Structures are given as structure tokens and as C-alpha cells.
Amino acid sequence: MFNKSFYNFLFLLLFTHKSKHISIFIISTILVFILASVNFISNSISKDILNSIDSQPDFIVQKMKAGQVVDINSDLVDKIESILGVNKVTTRVYGKYYFKALKQSFTIVGVDFFEEQNNKNLSVLIKNLDMKKFLQKEYMIIGNGVKKLFDKYKYDNSYFFTTPLGESIEVEIYDNLDAKTSLLSNDMIIMPKELAKIILGIGEFKATDIALNVPNELEKQNIKVQLILLDDNLRVLSKNDMKSHFLNLFNYKGGLFLILYIVVILTFLLILYQRYSMINSSDKKEIAILKAVGWSIKDILKLKVLENFLVAFFSFSFGIILAFIYVFLVKAPFLINIFLGYSNLDIAYELTPYVSLGSVVTLFIFYVVPFLCVILVPVWKIATVDVIKSIK
């Protein structure tokens, strides 16, 4: 019965019941907007982090003592290199430095520019570096968050670091990192590895950890076992371990929002069901008249389902568009801090536009289907009542 008269009557109903539909439209749009925003933020950050982890070394070897990570001996590199199937073994130097005057903690990363770089992320961060000029004296490259704090306290050209031995070392600022890399580098200070060791108090023949690659995928598990057997105090982290850690973190935060959303949507559906269960006399007469002029129960249900489907569809679409604008154009104020954490430095992170079609479709199904079901049941009950009884 999908003819011109059917559609004319459909749009007439939408106009007649506009006051009822507008309130439902607004509430539905807000619900979709909130969940879609959380979904977009989580997917975008997860994608960026997973891409970053993909360019990390295959394994990280750390030394543990009393449950804490401690500095590892650099001579362990030779033992690791002797394992067949291992390449690009590199010591890494990094750590937190607490600025007492500023009451902030930064991450100092030491880099040996003459070593083969197996961390593509770091290579991207320093790709425009003038190596000759940088190595002429003790320079450092600072992240966007560090630069903002230095500018605030007028550290325009250099900063004096205090070593664990109480010595003061002045390091000049060479440049700052691009704001687009803030997810990785917001609180980062990059400097030569030997200088970083002195400032962090790491011994000459020690490092924070050791990174290595295993080109053959089939050998990774066997090599991981061999690495663990080198020393009982070693902890070996694989790339997959790091991915699981971050995915669990974002799934946990996204899951909290999902639970809250489910509670809210169930409450909304319950109110919606009660609203349609208490259909007023004019709505009952409307359905009765349709039956009297020859409409079947099936046709009436089609009309009501399509009427409310249009409301659900447009509210869903509008909510998705608002979420996209809020997250990727307005930069998701407030919500993004829940995922990135309220760190000691403000982070100006630009979310990469990424929308998972599967997530949108799933959200659409779990929103629209229950929406239509809670409306269909009371309408069906009224449509099956005797025409004379409904008109009376």
C-alpha cells in the first residue's frame, strides 16, 4: 500500500504530531550525540596509538627489581645480539624529570643520532633536524606542552637541569616539536643520549631498557623465551602486549560510557513505551477511522513504524553529524580529557578524523530497533481493538 496517498497521509501525520515528535527528536539526538562522540574519540585515539605502536620495536627488554623497573646493563646487548633471528638491538634512555620550581614532570628522551633508528615515531618527530647544528653544543628539542610551560615562566632560550648529584647543567632549546605530534611528544624533551644519562642519573654502562626487532614472525615466541632465560630478573614486552594494554585501557573507559548509555537509553525507551501505551482518544479514533475506511492492521502498523522510523533516522543522523563536528572540528572539549587523562601539562592534541562504519551501523541497529519495538507493541494492541469500541 505504498502509494501516493499513503505517503501524503504519512507526512500529514508527522506534521500533525510535530509537538510529540520534536521532544522525542531532541532527546534522541542528545543520546546519539553523546555515545557517538565517545565512540569517535575512542576510535580515533586508539587508531593513532596502534599506528604508533606498529612502528615500535618488536620487543622491549626491561630489568625488574622488587617489582620495579630499574636500569639495565648495556653489556646485555651483546648477549641478545648472539641470539639467531634478532637484529637492530638498541639501548634506550628515557625517564621522568621533576621540575621542582614548576611542579611539573617531563619525559626526557635520550637519542644517539649515530645509531640506526628502529623507532620510526622518533624519526618522524626529528625529521627536519639540522644534525650538524644540533650536535655543535648541548641542545634539546621540546614538546608543545613543555614549550607552553617554558614560555609561561620565561624560559625562552634554555633551562638549567639539576642532576641527582646536585650539579647544574644548562641546556639550550634548539626547537620545539610540531603540535600535531602532541599525543606522543606533549611532555617530551629530546636530547643527546649521554646528556640524558647525566641528567637522569643513569650510569655510563647502563640504559633504561633494550629494544630489538625480530623480522621472522614465526620466531618471535621462541626468541621471547630465550630472552627471558638470559636473566631471571628480565621482563620482555612484545608489541602485542603493548597493544593489548592500550586497547584494554580505552575499552575500559569506553565501556563505562556504554554502561551509562545503556541505563539512559533503557530509561528513555521505558518512558517512550509508557507514552505510547497511554495513547489519547484522538489517536485511538485516528487508528479506528483508518480501519473503518479499509486499512488493514498490517497497513496501520506500516504507517506507524515508518512515521517513527523517520523520526528515529533523522534524530540519529543529526546526532552523528553533531558528534562529528564536536569531535573533529571543535576538538571535543572536556570529553577528550577523560580519554587522554588530566595530565600535568595541557595537551593540544588534534584528533585524526576516523569513523568506523561498523560502529555507526551497530549503534544505529541498537538504537533504532528498540526504538521501533517499544512503539510497535502499544500501536498493535490498539489496532486490534474493535473499531466501534475505539471510536466510542
CB 139 within 8 A of CB 172: yes
Residue 66: predicted pLDDT: 86
Q: Model pTM?
A: 0.75
Distance CA 110, CA 189 (A): 8
DSSP state of 296: -
Instruction: Write the CB contacts of 89 (distance below 8 Å, at least 6 apart in sequence).
Output: 77, 80, 81, 210, 211, 212
In Å, the largest CA–CA distance within the chain is 97
Residue 120: predicted pLDDT: 54
Mean pLDDT of successive 10-residue segments in the chain (392 residues)?
A: 70 78 86 87 82 83 90 91 90 88 82 60 62 76 86 86 89 82 80 91 91 90 91 89 77 69 75 63 69 75 83 92 93 79 59 84 85 77 61 54
72-73 vs 68-70, strand pairing mode: unpaired
